[in-house]
Amino acid sequence: MHAGRIALIALTLVAPMSIELRAEGDTLATVTAADGTQFEIAGGTGVYAFVSRGCQGEILRRRSAAFRDAAARVQLPLGRSRVRLGMRAGIVRDDIAGGDPTPIPVFPGAPGPDRIVATNRYVNPYLTFDPPGGSVGIGWVAHEREFITAGEGAREQADHPLNDLSAHVRFGGEGHHFEARWMEGMPLYSDGGCLTLGLGGTIGDGPWTIFIGLGAGGPYEGAGLALRGGRTWGSGWNVSARSRVGVSGNANASGVAIGVGWSGVGR
């Protein structure tokens, strides 16, 4: 089934579970989120490069690429348990420059010298279990086409089965923790890449949060620095900036994104 249709069906099923209509006197009904419900949207952009190297590791050719990505996430508690049901849905648009005579097997049969513009939509239903002092989660990623990765070995593979799964593990609370995430970026590319791991938490007792770690995996080749910063308000709203900073084959391999979210936890 087309991933866009999957997303529409899934969000249609999830949305009624996360809100309730409450009439207050003669006023119009208002929409209020159940305690524990989370919502988030984010969008970003970035660049990376395909690099061909010789036997001694010398750079033979480079082919630049740019991307734009966006994602939305809804998460809600299952009853009074510590299990949460969530859904991510997103889109990535890769724009790979032409002119390089070296074939880049991004997609089977894709011509080397031509410019390639490809859009990939995906949905990611998932479950997460959040006991005190940690979290673990797993999900399934349905996507229209294979996600692009610039790594020399990975880009020659016809498919990448691990990209069909999402997962995370976190040790520690929201205040201070170590986390590792796979295919859970918001958005997927500009929030570090397919894999992120590092340390995060709040700054003192204030409303600011920070994350510092490594970002790797598609579409980038190699690892880079993953950074996030954000601010929350007592109303439940939050804003955040995410980035991935790196270099591959002397070419920029970085991304940046802005996100806005809301959480009903503790309200």
**pLDDT band per the 50, 70, 90 thresholds, residue 6:** very low
Average pLDDT, the chain: 82
At 102 the pLDDT is 54
Q: Are strands 134-140 and 83-96 parallel, antiparallel or unpaired?
A: unpaired
Distance between CA atoms of 206 and 99, rounded to whole angstroms?
51
At position 217, the amino acid (one-letter code) is: G
Q: Half-sphere exposure of 46 toward its Cβ, with a 13 Å CA cutoff?
A: 31
| Architecture field, domain 3-263 | Beta Barrel (2.40)
Distance between CA atoms of 207 and 77, rounded to whole angstroms?
24
3-class DSSP assignment, residue 88:
strand
At 250 the pLDDT is 87
Q: Is the pLDDT of residue 72 over 70?
A: yes
The helix (run of H) or strand (run of E) holding residue 4 is helix 3-18
Give 68's DSSP letter. E
Contact 32, 61 (CB under 8 A): no
The helix (run of H) or strand (run of E) holding residue 72 is strand 59-77
At 23 the pLDDT is 33
At 107 the pLDDT is 52
Q: Is the pLDDT of residue 1 over 60?
A: no
Distance between CA atoms of 21 and 32, rounded to whole angstroms?
7
Model pLDDT for residues 146-197, shown as the tens digit of each residue: 898 877 666 666 677 899 999 999 999 878 999 999 999 999 999 999 999 9
Q: Cα–chain-centroid distance for residue 38?
A: 16
Other CB atoms within 10 Å distance of the CB of residue 198 = 19
At 154 the pLDDT is 62
Q: Among all chains, which residue has been given the structure tokens 């949207």? A: 41
Higher pLDDT, 115 or 245: 245
Give 107's DSSP letter. S
Model pLDDT for residues 98-145, shown as the tens digit of each residue: 765 555 555 544 545 678 888 999 999 999 999 999 999 999 999 999
Q: Where are the beta strands (DSSP E) in 115-203?
A: 116-129, 134-140, 142-143, 165-172, 176-182, 195-202
Contact 229, 240 (CB under 8 A): yes
Question: Nearest Cα to 119, choosing from 139, 89, 83, 145?
Answer: 145
**pLDDT band per the 50, 70, 90 thresholds, residue 50:** confident
